[in-house]
Structure 1
C-alpha cells in the first residue's frame, strides 16, 4: 500500500504503481491509494486519444495519399478533361465512311456522360460499400481509359456507349475522392490538403492541353493521323492514372473507413452496408442544408460544362481567329489550368486564414471573377459560335488575348468555388463525406446535363445570362450555411449550449465578445481531492 509520506504533497500522483506491480493499470493503482489527503488526477473516459501518426519511408501516410490522389486525378481525370474540351470540335471534323460527325454531337455525348454520372453518384456509395474505395477508384479509372480509346477509331455506337461507361467511371471516382481527402485530413489540414489536391489535379489541364495546342498549331482542320496520335497519348496517360490509384495506401477491398477523429483510432471506424449507404445518401439528400446548397451545386455543374467544352468550342468555331482557331481550343485549356492551379495554391496557402475567417469571402470573390469573365466573353465572341463555324463577330473583333484572359478567370473562379465547397462539406460532415459528396456531384451532374442540352440550341449571350442568374442564389445559399455553421462552431454557441444542457454550469460574468484564453483540456479530466 502507498502512504501519504511516500508522495510529495504538491505533486499529483500520475504513476503510483508500487515496485513489482507494473502490470497493474493506472486506474487500479490510483484506486489502491488509501489516503484521502493525497490529490489524485484521474483521467476521464472521454479523454481523447492522440491521432496515430503513420509513416511510409519517413513520409506521413496521410500526406502521401493526398499526393497520390492528386497525381491520379492529374493523369486519369486530366486525360478525360483534355479529351472532353476538344470533343465537340474533334467529332465535327470526322467525316468518313464509318462516321459522320456534326457540330453539336459532342454536346449530346457529354450530356449522356453527365446524365450517367448523376445516377452513378446516387448509387456510388452503395458500390463503394460493396467493393471498397480503392477498388472503386481504380475501376473508375479503367472506365476513363475505355472511353478515350473510342476516339482512336470513332464509330457512333462506340462513342455513345463509351460516353455512358465514362459517366459511371467518373461518378465513382468523384464519390471516392471526397472520402480519401477527408480520411487523410484533420479539421486544420482539410483546406490545405484540398488545395494541394486541386492544384495537382488541374496541372493536367496545362500539360494535356499544351500537347493538344502544339499538335494542332498551324492546322486548319484535324486530320485522322493527328487525331490518332493525340488520343493514343491521352490513353497512355490515363493508364498511368490507373497505376497511381493502385499505389494508394489503403486496403484493396473492404468497407470504407470513417474519418479519424480525436476520440477514435483509424482501425476502429464503423462502416455501412450497400443498402444502408443508399438509404443514408437519399436521407442525406433530403436535409434542409442540402436544399439550401442546391443552387450552388447546380451552378458549379453549369459553369463546369461551360469551361470544359462550350467555351473552347466557341473559340474553335470562330473563323475570325484564322488559322490558329483549332489550336486555341488547346491553348484555352492551358490557361484554364493555370487559373485552376493558381486558385488551388492560393487557397492552400490561405487555408488557415479561411478556417479562422470563413469561406464566404472566397465565394464572393469567385462570383465577381466569373461575372467579369462572362462580360468579356460576351464582348469578344460571336453569338452563334456555340452552334457551328461562324464568320461573324460580337461587339469587338475576336481577340485571342481577351479569350485567354477569360479562360484564366474561368479556371481561377472554378477552383475557388469547388475548393471552398469541398472543404466546407469535409469539415461540417466528416462522418458523412461519401453521402455529402454524392449529393453534391449528383446535382452538379444534373446541371451539367441540362447545360449541354441547351447548348445545342441557345446562343452564347443567353448561356452567359443563365450563368449570371444562377450564380447569385448559389453564393447566397452558401453564405447562409457558412454563417450558420460558423456560429455553431463558435465558443459563444458552445457556452450557450452547455448552459442550456447543464443546470450546474455557471456562465462567467463577462461579454462573449471579450478576448479570452480557452483551456481546451479543462473538461477532459476530473480532479478528486
Structure 2
C-alpha cells in the first residue's frame, strides 16, 4: 500500500516532528548553561519548577489523554513551549525571574500531557516486532530538532563567545516551537489508525473518570512499575549535571552550542542503533532485553568513569570558560565524553520505552504507563535541578548520577528476566483463539 496519513508509521513520524519543534528545540535551549543566560540561577530554579509540575501532572496525564485524546493533548502541551522561550527573551530586557519560573511551571504541566500522549502513540501503534524501530524513528526525528536548535544558536551567536543568547536566537526558537502545535492539529484519532492489513489500533473505551483515576493510582502498587522506578528516576536526573555543570560551567556560550550539536547528534545514532538490538531477529524478546541491558550497563559505566577523570580537574565554574578555538586538540577529549553522555542517554530512554511497550499494545493502557514514567522521571529531574541550583560540588553531582544508574540495574534485570514474547492481552487473545480452534477440531471429530 502507498503512503497513508492514518498509518501507524505516518502518525509516529508526525509526533516526532511535533517534538522536533517543541522538546527538541527546548533541549537545545536547556542544554546551554542557564538556558542561554549568564545568570543561571533563574533557569535552574525554573527547571526545578518545570520538573516538579511535570512529575505531578505526568502521573495524572494518562487520564487526561484518554479523555480528550492524544491530538488535543499534544496541541495544548505544545503551546507551553513558546511561552517558556518567550520568558527567556523577556529576561534579556527586564530580568523578570518570576515570569521565567512561572513559565517553567506551566511548561511542566503542558509537557506532562504532551509526553504522555507521545508515549502512548509511540508504544501502541507499531506491531510487537517493530516497537524498537518505531522508538528509534521517533528519537531520531525528535533529536534532529535539538541538533538544528544547537546549530542555530551556534551560528547566530558565533561572534559573541560569552553573554546571553541574542534576541534573534530566541525569536527563531519561538517560531519553530509554534509550528509544533500546528503539526499536532493534523493527528488523527487512534480509532482511525490502521495497519496495512486493515487491523485497527487497540483502544479501550474511555471508562468513568473515577475508574480511570483508580487505574492510574494502581500503577504505584504494580510490581513491574515499582521495579522499573529506579530506572525511571535516573533517566532524566543526569541532565542537570550534563547541561548545567559539565557544559554550562566549563565552556563559553558558542562552545556550548557546538558541543550540543554533537551531543544531540550522538543521540540520534544511539537510539536508532540500540533499537536495532531490541528488535534483533532470531532472538526471543527476553534475550533481547538481557542483551540490551548488558550493552547499556557496560557503556554507561565506562562513560561515567571517564567523566570522573575529567571532573577531578575542575571544582568550580571557570572564570574564563573554555573556547573550542583556543583549546586546539585538547578540545577532543571533553567533546567525545559529552557525545558519549548523549549516546547513553538515548539508549537508556529507548530501553525504558521498549520495556513499557512489552507490557501492552493498548493505547489506553500505555498512556497510563507513559504518564507514570514521565511523572517519576520528572520528579527525579526536579530534585537534580534543585541540587544544581544549590551549587552542590561538581564531583558530588556526578557520583549521584552514576550511583542512580547503577542502582537501576537490579530492577531492570528482574523485569527483563520476566519478559514474554507477547504482551499480556495478546497472550489472552491467543489463548482464547487456540481454545476455539481446539473446540472446533473436537466438534469435527464428533
| TM-score (structure 2 length as normaliser) | 0.85
Alpha carbons 1:69, 1:245 under 8 Å: kept:
yes
Partner residue of 1:452?
A: 385
Cα distance per residue 1:487-528 (max 9 Å; x no partner): 8989xxx9xxx9xxx9xxxxxxxxxxxxxxxx9996595350
**Counterpart Cα distance in 2 of 1:451 and 1:183:** 31
Distance apart, 1:467 and its partner CA: 1.6
Residues 175, 437 of structure 1: 8 Å contact kept: yes
1:237 correspondence with 2:176: yes
Of 243, 259, 269, the match for 1:332: 259
Gaps of 5+ in 2: none
Residue 53 of structure 2 corresponds to which residue in structure 1? 116
Picking from 318, 335, 353, the partner of 2:280 is 353
Distance 1:265 1:525 in 2: 27
Inter-CA distance 179–488: structure 2 relative to 1 (3 Å threshold): closer
Distance in 2 of aligned mates of 1:464 and 1:454:
11
CA separation of 1:523 and 1:258: change in aligned 2, threshold 3 A:
farther
Q: Which residue of 2 aligns with 1:283?
A: 218
Distance verdict in 2 for CA 1:273–1:234, change over 3 Å: farther
- CA gap 1:266/1:365 in 2 versus in 1, 3 angstroms: closer
What SS is found at the alignment partner of 1:526? helix
Q: Does 1:174 align with 2:115?
A: yes
**Which deviations, in whole Å up to 9, do the C-alpha atoms of 1:203-241 show, x marking residues without a partner?**
112111121122232423225xx5211110001110111
Secondary structure, aligned partner of 2:71: helix
Structure with the largest fraction of helix: 2
Judge conservation of contact 1:300–1:418 (CA < 8 Å) in 2.
Answer: yes
Pairwise CA distance, 1:454 = 1.2
C-alpha contact 1:367 1:413 (8 A) present in aligned 2? no
**Does structure 2 conserve the Cα–Cα contact (< 8 Å) formed by 1:257 and 1:269?**
no
Cα distance, 1:379 vs. partner?
A: 2.8
Does 2:70 correspond to 1:133? Answer: yes
In the alignment, the residues of structure 1 paired with residue 112 and residue 48 of structure 2 have an alpha-carbon distance, to the nearest angstrom, of 14
| Secondary structure of the structure 1 residue equivalent to 2:441 | strand
Structure 1 residue 198 displacement after superposition: 1.0
- Give the structure 1 partner of residue 342 of structure 2: 411
In the alignment, what sits opposite 1:374? 304
Could you tell me whether the CA contact under 8 Å between 2:194 and 2:200 is conserved in 1? no
Residue 304 of structure 2 aligns to a residue whose secondary structure is helix
Quick one: structure 1 residues 130 and 412, their matched pair in 2 at CA, closer, same or farther if it must change by over 3 Å? same
Within 2, Cα distance between the matches of 1:205 and 1:483?
Answer: 35
Decide whether the 8 Å contact of 1:126 with 1:278 is kept in 2: yes
Q: How large is the RMSD of aligned CA atoms in angstroms?
A: 3.2
> Which structure: larger Rg?
1
Distance 1:161 1:60, change over 3 A: closer
Asked whether the 8 Å contact 2:202–2:361 carries over to 1, the reply is no
What residue number does 1:152 align with? 89
Which one of 403, 419, 437 corresponds to residue 485 of structure 1? Answer: 419
Question: Is the Cα–Cα contact under 8 Å of residues 130 and 273 in structure 1 kept in the other structure?
Answer: no
- 2:128 maps to which of 187, 196, 218: 187
Note the C-alpha offset of 1:199: 1.0
| Corresponding residue for residue 98 of structure 1 | none
The correspondence of residues 258-407 of structure 1 with structure 2, limited to 5 A, is: 265-266=200-201, 269-316=204-251, 325-353=252-280, 356=284, 357-381=287-311, 382-385=313-316, 388-390=317-319, 399-407=330-338
Cα distance in 2 between the residues matched to 1:117 and 1:149: 19
The residue that corresponds to 1:18 in the other structure is none
Q: How many equivalent residue pairs?
A: 421
- Name 2:140's counterpart in structure 1: 199
Question: 1:427 and 2:358 equivalent?
Answer: yes
TM superposition shift of 1:463: 1.3
The aligned runs of 1:485-504 (5 Å cut-off) are: 485-486=419-420
CA distance in 2, matches of 1:367, 1:463: 20
Q: What are the ranges of 5 or more consecutive residues in structure 1 without an aligned counterpart?
A: 1-54, 93-101, 317-324, 503-518
Deviations 1:358-404 (A, max 9, x none): 2232233223322333233333345334xx444699xxx99421121
By how many angstroms is 1:351 displaced? 4.2
Q: Indicate if the aligned counterparts of 2:63 and 2:216 stay in contact, CA closer than 8 A.
A: no
Is 1:83 matched up with 2:16?
Answer: no
1:247 aligned residue: 186
Query: What's the secondary structure of 1:110's corresponding residue?
Result: helix
Tell me how far 1:86 sits from its aligned partner.
2.0
Q: Is the 8 A contact 1:378 1:464 kept in 2?
A: yes
The match for 1:106 among 40, 43, 46 is: 43
In 2: Cα distance, 1:288 partner to 1:206 partner: 38
Partner SS, residue 484 of structure 1:
coil
C-alpha displacement of 1:187: 0.9
How many angstroms apart in 2 are the aligned matches of 1:303 and 1:268?
A: 35
* CA deviation map 1:36-55 (0-9, x unaligned): xxxxxxxxxxxxxxxxxxx7
Structure 1 position 104, deviation (Å): 2.9
C-alpha distance in 1 between matches for 2:342 and 2:117: 23
